[in-house]
């Protein structure tokens, strides 16, 4: 299991980070992390796009879900069957958001492990043969911020970006009425998520916070694209 983790996550991220550090990042560790994050998100873009699209669709079919729950409130079997038919009709999986969260965990662990290691000679042994070995790793970002230490500023920026992205997921039914349970939960998570981010990332190296910030900003733009396509689909 550990071998697969190193092979699929740790080693590729380490190699991408060192490659960018020695080339496009001009030996700026922060820029290397930004480029590595963007590369990772571009590779995973189809998965995240699908997940974000399903989340947006789930938000928009909440009135239908609520109606089914009311009609079959006394028959859970019929209610479940009707909900499954609705999900199938719109091509959504109610657990897609959980999958998006799970897939980010090993990437975060890999980034944290790489930073914590200090990228010494032992870690450089994981480099592919075509990746140039650096003589020295400078953990600064633009010569200002030491990414090996914690940074409340970066953590707060990451939390704000996550809040914006979470708000973009929320869809308010224009017909009005009482918000659905899903909408209420989404509104709560828009506040809880950033607070959890601050709690978790505050004591971690700033490099991990920078990764989460760039990943969240990427999610914002991806969510805007998804919202536009879903709005167009439901308007037609």
- pLDDT tens-digit readout, 59-114: 788 778 888 888 887 778 888 888 888 888 888 877 776 777 787 888 888 888 88
Better-predicted residue by pLDDT, 199 or 122: 199
Q: What secondary structure letter does DSSP report for 7?
A: I
Domain that residue 159 falls in: 2-235
What pTM was computed for the model?
0.84
DSSP H helical segments within the chain, as ranges?
A: 2-5, 11-22, 29-43, 45-60, 62-71, 76-90, 96-117, 121-124, 152-169, 181-201, 206-235
Better-predicted residue by pLDDT, 178 or 115: 115
Instruction: Indicate if the pLDDT at residue 176 is higher than 60.
Output: no
CA distance 147 to 154: 10
Number of domains forming the structure of the chain: 1
**In whole angstroms, how far apart are CA 141 and each of 25, 35, 40, 135, 150?**
10, 13, 20, 18, 13
CB 111 within 8 A of CB 11: no
């Amino acid at each position: 299991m550990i071998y697969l983790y190193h092979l699929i996550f740790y080693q590729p991220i380490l190699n991408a980070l060192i490659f960018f550090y020695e080339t496009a990042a001009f030996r700026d560790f922060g820029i290397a992390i930004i480029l590595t994050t963007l590369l990772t998100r571009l590779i995973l873009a189809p998965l995240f796009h699908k997940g974000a699209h399903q989340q947006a669709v789930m938000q928009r079919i909440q009135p239908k879900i609520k109606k089914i729950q009311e009609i079959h409130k006394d028959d859970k079997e019929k209610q479940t069957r009707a909900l499954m038919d609705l999900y199938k009709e719109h091509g959504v999986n109610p657990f897609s958001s959980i999958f998006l969260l799970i897939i980010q965990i090993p990437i975060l662990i890999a980034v944290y492990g790489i930073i914590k290691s200090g990228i010494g000679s032992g870690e450089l042994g994981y480099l592919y043969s075509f990746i140039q070995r650096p003589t020295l790793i400078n953990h600064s970002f633009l010569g200002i911020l030491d990414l090996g230490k914690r940074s409340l500023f970066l953590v707060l920026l990451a939390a704000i970006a996550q809040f914006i992205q979470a708000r973009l997921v929320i869809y308010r039914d224009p017909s009005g009425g009482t918000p659905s349970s899903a909408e209420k939960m989404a509104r709560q998570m828009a506040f809880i998520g950033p607070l959890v981010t601050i709690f978790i990332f505050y004591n971690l190296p700033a490099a991990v916070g920078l990764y989460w910030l760039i990943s969240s900003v990427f999610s914002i733009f991806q969510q805007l694209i998804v919202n536009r396509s879903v709005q167009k689909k439901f308007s037609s």
